[in-house]
Amino acid sequence: MRCSRAAFPWLATAAAASVIAKPPSPGADGKYTISAPGIKAQFIPYGATLTNLFVKDKDGNDVDVVLGYEDINYYPEDPGHPVYNSIPGRYVNRIGKGKYEIDGKTYTTQLNDGSNTLHSGTNNWSYRVWSVAAATDNSITFEIRDESNSSQGMLGLVNSKVTYSVRDSTWDIKIEAASPEQKTPLMLTQHTYFNLDAYRNPDQVKIWNHTLYMPYSKRYLVADDAALPTGRIATAAPDSINDFASREGLFLGHAQNDPRFAGNCGAGGACEGYNGYWLIDDAPKDAVVVSLASEFSGITADLRTDQSGVVIYSCNWMDGSASLKKTQGTAANSKVVRSSCVAIEAHDYVDGINHPEWGRVDKQIIGPGQTYAWKSSWTFRNL
């Protein structure tokens, strides 16, 4: 059955926005599908979003390991907008107090996260319909033209594209962006949410049974109660709450019995677990810098990236109102509950434009003649 564009309203918008005469067409479900041995990924133009990612578990079964919605029309309607597996921009994560400077001039951004700006505000790229520039059986490229001040305080035109491709149980992501008119903040990521069990573990729906290993990430940015970096960089002691570097096999919930775990990510003690940034120090080229694993499914997800660190967010604010996709859950587990997933986001230092002491400003302010580039890959294997 052929789908009408009325059923998926952004399809017509994406086609009109594309610069190519005959843009690639989605399937009957409104999704673009790419596949390779051991992996299948599906996408929609809204937010350049990954909706489904199927990899093999220890028994050879296909498991959809990322969060999302069964109804793809709900992505732009969800008032919570958790940025499921999309590309937020043009500057991801937080801008402290909604202000930054370029060449001595102060710019003000939208306050949408308490007294700070998160992901450039409520018209960031994860709320936009991207155009489909190209697609093959194993790759797809989305493009966006972000006009000056489309998000408050983000001046100058920015053109960007993301190419997703798959090969041999690996998902590759490449992002490029340029600001041809003037200097502007630019820092991007793929905002991916995982549950490697696909919520099928009858004994543990939460993420604490997954292990996390980040061998080059002993250091992390100390954050305030609103998850904004203070400027201080700390080193995690072995087996402490924020240690995932000292040894393999540490559970995400290894520090649950520590009384500080409940407030480790701020919010006056209401945020349990993690919502912080870990530095990647002295990693060899193409080294695995993050390994997320689950004994139940037998799946390990290995991250390689050219970025300087990663955000780990353990889904504290999920309130159990969102339903799982049909590809996930059991009769007893049908909702996304608190602490039941983990978002892993590779990018440069959070709020680096406001911390010149870190030496990141020139990497996060991009102007004419410069190109912003970002690259990561996830490889999935069995334990």
**Look-up: residue for tokens 């909604």?**
98
- What pLDDT is attached to residue 24? 76
pLDDT in tens, 175-201: 999 999 999 999 999 999 999 999 999
- Evaluate whether residue 140 is within a structural domain: yes
- Which helix (H) or strand (E) segment holds residue 107: the answer is strand 105-108
CA distances from 136 to 10, 30, 85, 140, 181 (A): 21, 16, 21, 6, 32
Is residue 10 within 8 Å of residue 49, measured between CB atoms? no
Distance between CA atoms of residues 93 and 350, nearest Å = 6
Predicted TM-score (pTM) of this structure: 0.94
Chosen domain end from 174, 192, 210: 192
Any residues with CB less than 8 A from the CB of 60 and at least 6 apart, and which?
Answer: none
Residues 125, 264 within the same domain = no
| Sign of the CA dihedral running 100, 103, 106, 107 | negative
Same domain, 92 and 31: yes
Mind listing the pLDDT tens digit for each residue in 239-256? Answer: 999 999 999 999 999 999
Is the alpha carbon torsion for 103, 105, 106, 110 positive or negative?
A: negative
Mean model confidence pLDDT for the chain? 94
User: Does one domain contain both 20 and 169?
Assistant: yes
Asked if residue 307 and residue 171 are part of one domain, the reply reads no
DSSP 138-184: SEEEEEEEE-TTSSTT--S-EEEEEEEEEETTEEEEEEEEE-SSS-E
pLDDT tens for each residue of 285-312: 999 999 999 999 999 999 999 999 999 9
Burial label, 369 (beta-carbon count in 10 A; 0-12, 13-18, 19+): exposed
Q: Which residue, of 135, 159, 192, is where some domain finishes?
A: 192
The answer to whether residue 211 sits within a structural domain is yes
Segments forming the whole domain that contains residue 170: 10-192
